[in-house]
């Protein structure tokens, strides 16, 4: 990367744009703005690029920071950014199907009416009841009730079997990281899968009932790191400077924005912050009280991932498995099935992700998660040759009944936010990409671009 920072009149370095954080949101932002002609500095507090979207080696296995499947790949916001700004595009391998394990049986996830009728892992009477409930939503929708304030648990009530509750709870955890009593109905209806051009409720319902879902999902060959490598390789020469191991300590606005890190001081015209929005009151002085208060409502959940390197291939299906039977609920993704170079020859690498209920009792939670894995597929225990675990926060704001999302604009001129806590749509990388697209349009409105 070329050295493009210019020492200002005083002791600070000056850039047109400073991006705080080198996760996928920060890197995509830096790429887009540099391709739009801006000189950009990226400041990252860790020594790594990618944030919770990167890969590294453990005993010859290449693990990701949690199992990752990219959603809406062909028709979503990442594709839009890749088409416009990437010089190098990673190779993607289709995800395959989502399988659900419940009551010791396994079936493909029921994406549509036909799948639902065949989904006999839960009682037929519950399936009919849930279908009627789904139709009933149209009345709630028309009555103007806010479906982001109504939980899935409230909607379905208690008249369902234990296994149906487990299924709904498991899916809620999978989609939002929280239980069905905290997951808003809107989170499910918000899905692009349910979207239509006219966006009428009946059209959405039609899509839920008739369309095949999750066909537009994929894993990047070479691991999730290949996405980060593609972004970095696409940075225009001499327009992007990256400094790792520099934590931003304070941001002060005035004529110019001044940024102090653990090592240096910088100035810029525009600052984009991609860390936790809830941290900015600690970085920027004198934010209005209401703003600080609204940021305190951002709700986050932690995930535990256990990576197992297996000395033989145990997962042979064409996608990933959602375990509603296990405690904790678990998502098992055999990533070496997408790219066998991620595991040594003849081995298999599988990521098992679950919600971390209690950050303070980690050893116990880890043991519980491992036992859950062995209780579902006992033979795994005899084939482990590598174990690695990670505790990470998948999204900077989880979708719950009372959660808030942050605005892209802050009350301070020239300072903007980007990342998964500034956007409600979708999840993970797709949500991060939506937030970058929204940021770019805000910057255009504000004549920064
Ligand atoms: C277990 C797990 C599974 C996942 N599965 C999927 C999946 O299947 N599909 C999917 O699309 N997504 C998935 N995700 C989510 C996805 O990885 C994240 O939502 C996305 O990478 C978040 O990107 P971000 O840039 O917004 O945030 P982050 O990656 O958190 O980046 C923020 C960066 O800012 C830096 N930073 C913060 N404060 C400062 C400061 N003061 N100074 C300097 N630097 C700072 C941080 O160090 C970090 O690098 C998963 C995540 C996890 C953890």
Confidence class for position 212, pLDDT limits 50, 70, 90:
low
Residue nearest ligand 1's atom 51 by CA: 394
Q: Which has the minimum average pLDDT: 66-80, 176-190, 295-309, 331-345?
A: 176-190
Q: Which has the minimum average pLDDT: 36-40, 107-111, 155-159, 287-291?
A: 155-159
Q: Can you give the pLDDT at residue 210? A: 55
Indicate if the pLDDT at residue 106 is higher than 70: yes
Q: Give the distance (Å) from ligand 1 centre to CA of residue 18.
A: 18
**DSSP 8-state code for residue 422:** S
Q: Which atom of ligand 1 is nearest to the CA of 224?
A: 17
Give mean pLDDT, residues 243-255. 95
Beta strands at 257-261 and 415-417: parallel, antiparallel or unpaired: unpaired
Q: Can you give the pLDDT at residue 443? A: 98
Could you give the CA distance from residue 134 to residue 141 in angstroms, rounded to a whole number?
11
Distances (CA, A) of 258 to 6, 8, 397, 407: 14, 12, 27, 22
b/e 407-437 (16+ beta carbons within 10 angstroms → b): bbbbebebbbbbbbbbbbbbbbbbbbbbbbb
Indicate if the pLDDT at residue 277 is higher than 50: yes
Q: Which has the minimum average pLDDT: 22-31, 132-141, 206-215?
A: 206-215
* Ligand 1, CB within 6 Å, residue ranges: 20-26, 43-46, 51-53, 65-70, 247-248, 274-275, 303, 305, 353, 392, 394-395, 419-420, 427-430, 432
Q: How far apart are the first and last CA of the chain?
A: 23
Across the chain, mean pLDDT equals 90
Could you give the CA distance from residue 268 to residue 280 in angstroms, rounded to a whole number?
17
Q: Locate 80 and state its tokens.
A: 């839009």
3-state helix, strand, coil in the chain (%, to 5): 35, 25, 40
Smallest Cα–Cα separation from 15: which of 196, 267, 309, 282? 267
Q: Can you give the pLDDT at residue 208? A: 59
Q: Which atom of ligand 1 is nearest to the CA of 303?
A: 1
Give mean pLDDT, residues 391-420. 90
Could you give the CA distance from residue 441 to residue 449 in angstroms, rounded to a whole number?
9
Could you give the CA distance from residue 82 to residue 80 in angstroms, rounded to a whole number?
6
Contact between 30 and 271 (Cβ < 8 Å): no
Q: Give the distance (Å) from ligand 1 centre to CA of residue 127.
A: 36
Beta strands at 61-64 and 105-108: parallel, antiparallel or unpaired: unpaired
**DSSP 8-state code for residue 308:** E
Q: Which has the minimum average pLDDT: 18-22, 361-365, 395-399, 410-414?
A: 395-399
Give mean pLDDT, residues 24-31. 98
What is the three-class DSSP state of 128? helix
Contact between 99 and 108 (Cβ < 8 Å): yes
Q: Give the distance (Å) from ligand 1 centre to CA of residue 45.
A: 13
Q: Is the pTM of this model over 0.75?
A: yes
Q: Can you give the pLDDT at residue 357? A: 83
Q: Can you give the pLDDT at residue 9? A: 47
Could you give the CA distance from residue 172 to residue 180 in angstroms, rounded to a whole number?
5
Q: Can you give the pLDDT at residue 207? A: 62
């Amino acid at each position: 990367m070329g050295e493009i920072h210019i020492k200002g009149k005083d002791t600070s370095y000056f850039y047109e744009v400073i991006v705080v954080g080198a996760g996928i949101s920060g890197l995509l932002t830096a790429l887009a703005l540099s391709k739009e002609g801006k000189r950009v500095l990226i400041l990252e507090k860790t020594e790594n690029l990618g944030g919770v979207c990167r890969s590294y080696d453990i005993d010859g296995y290449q693990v990701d920071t949690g199992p990752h499947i990219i959603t809406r790949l062909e028709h979503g916001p990442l594709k839009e950014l890749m088409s416009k700004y990437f010089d190098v595009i990673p190779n993607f391998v289709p995800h395959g199907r989502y399988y659900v394990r419940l009551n010791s049986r396994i079936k493909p996830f029921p994406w549509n009416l036909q799948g639902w009728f065949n989904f006999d892992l839960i009682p037929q009477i519950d399936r009919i009841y849930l279908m009627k409930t789904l139709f009933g939503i149209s009345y709630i929708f028309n009555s103007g009730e806010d479906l982001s304030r109504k939980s899935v648990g409230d909607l379905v009530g208690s008249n369902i079997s234990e296994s149906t509750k487990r299924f709904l709870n498991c899916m809620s955890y999978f989609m939002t990281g929280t239980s069905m009593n905290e997951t808003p109905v809107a989170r499910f209806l918000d899905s692009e899968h349910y979207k239509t051009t006219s966006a009428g409720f009946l059209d959405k319902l039609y899509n839920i009932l008739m369309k095949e879902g999750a066909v537009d999902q994929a894993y990047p060959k070479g691991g999730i790191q290949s996405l980060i490598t593609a972004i970095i390789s696409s940075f225009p020469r001499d327009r992007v400077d990256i400094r790792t191991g520099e934590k931003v300590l304070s941001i002060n606005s005035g004529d110019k924005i001044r940024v102090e890190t653990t090592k240096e001081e910088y100035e810029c015209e525009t600052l984009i912050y991609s860390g936790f929005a809830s941290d900015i009151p600690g970085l920027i002085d004198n934010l209005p009280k209401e703003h600080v208060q609204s940021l305190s409502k951002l709700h986050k959940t932690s995930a535990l991932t256990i990576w197992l390197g297996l000395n033989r291939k145990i997962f042979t299906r064409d996608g990933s498995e959602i375990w509603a039977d296990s405690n904790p609920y678990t998502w098992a993704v055999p990533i070496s099935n997408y790219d066998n170079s991620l595991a040594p020859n003849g081995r298999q690498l599988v990521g098992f992700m679950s919600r971390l209920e209690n950050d303070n009792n980690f050893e116990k939670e880890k043991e519980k998660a491992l036992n859950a894995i062995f209780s579902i597929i006992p033979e795994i225990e005899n084939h482990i040759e590598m174990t690695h675990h990670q505790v990470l926060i998948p999204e900077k704001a989880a979708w719950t009944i009372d959660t808030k999302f942050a605005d892209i604009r802050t009350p301070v001129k020239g300072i903007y936010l980007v990342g998964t806590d500034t956007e409600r749509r979708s999840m993970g990388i797709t949500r991060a990409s939506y937030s970058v697209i929204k940021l770019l349009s805000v910057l255009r409105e504000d004549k920064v671009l």
